[in-house]
Amino acid sequence: MALSIGFWILAIIAVGAALTVVLLKDIFRAALCMVLTLVAVAGIYVTLSADFLAGVQVIVYVGAISILLIIGIMLTREVQQGNPTNKFRIPAFLVALVFFGVMCFVFLGTPWQQSGATPVTPTTGALADKLFGEDGFMLTVEIAGVLLLAAVIGAIAMAREK
């Protein structure tokens, strides 16, 4: 019961912070609300007993991606002006509303089946063997690291030119 209440509180916080990200004009505060959204999603993972995913969420998204975005925002010269007004705000809202309606229709119209079997939760060691074993994804992880390094170096070079 307590986990269910915690789940709904975190879900409301995540949705509210995500809406705040979209609606705020100050891009720095929007980035901080995005961090709050990502932390709430990590909390949702904890309530769903997915502790490894919660840790990865905090380390990768809250720790790395959010900090990278905030540093990029701080290197931007005209942060105080905020986001420019957009003439496509109402059409974008209508498209998002139609998409939400389609998703609700699909979600409510799907006959969801429940399994009586208990789910098997792999250990972190088994997951590490799968990712970094002989036929794993080590090269993919290394390529992602090189791409992030190139993005940081590119951002620094762009900031220094001006």
The answer to whether position 114 is within a domain reads no
Q: What is the mean pLDDT of residues 32-38?
A: 93
**Residue among 36, 48, 35 at smallest CA distance from 7:** 48
**Residue among 62, 6, 63, 20 at smallest CA distance from 38:** 62
**Residue 99 · residue 93 · CB < 8 Å:** no
Q: Are residues 102 and 128 in the same domain?
A: no
Q: Are residues 37 and 101 in the same domain?
A: yes
Q: Which of 79, 106, 133 finishes a domain?
A: 106
Number of other CB atoms surrounding residue 10 within 10 Å: 19
Token couple for 72: 């990029």
User: What pLDDT does residue 75 have?
Assistant: 75
Q: Are residues 69 and 9 in the same domain?
A: yes
Q: From CA 31, how far away is CA 79, in angstroms rounded? A: 12
Q: How many domains does the chain have?
A: 2
Kindly report the pTM of this predicted structure: 0.61
Q: How far apart are the first and last CA of the chain?
A: 56
User: What pLDDT does residue 16 have?
Assistant: 95
User: What pLDDT does residue 94 have?
Assistant: 94
Say which residue the tokens 């949705």 belong to. Answer: 15
Q: Give pLDDT tens digits for 47-93.
A: 988 888 899 899 988 888 888 888 877 777 665 565 566 678 788 88
Least confident of 1-5, 44-48, 53-57: 1-5
**Residue 48 · residue 67 · CB < 8 Å:** no
Q: Are residues 41 and 69 in the same domain?
A: yes
Q: From CA 105, how far away is CA 108, in angstroms rounded? A: 5
Q: Are residues 19 and 88 in the same domain?
A: yes
Least confident of 5-9, 35-39, 92-96, 152-156: 152-156
Q: Are residues 46 and 75 in the same domain?
A: yes
Q: Which of 66, 82, 106 finishes a domain?
A: 106
Q: Are residues 94 and 130 in the same domain?
A: no
Q: Are residues 86 and 137 in the same domain?
A: no
**Residue 32 · residue 73 · CB < 8 Å:** no
Q: Give pLDDT tens digits for 107-141.
A: 999 998 888 888 777 777 877 777 777 777 788 88
* Spatial CB neighbours of 22, under 8 Å, sequence gap ≥ 6: 30
User: What pLDDT does residue 33 have?
Assistant: 92
Q: Which domain holds residue 70?
A: 1-106
The answer to whether position 112 is within a domain reads no
Q: From CA 55, how far away is CA 41, in angstroms rounded? A: 11
Return the CATH number at 67.
Answer: 1.20.120.1200
Q: Are residues 57 and 89 in the same domain?
A: yes
DSSP state letter for 119: P
User: What pLDDT does residue 13 have?
Assistant: 96
Q: Are residues 73 and 131 in the same domain?
A: no
Least confident of 23-27, 87-91, 142-146, 158-162: 158-162
Q: From CA 13, how far away is CA 24, in angstroms rounded? A: 16
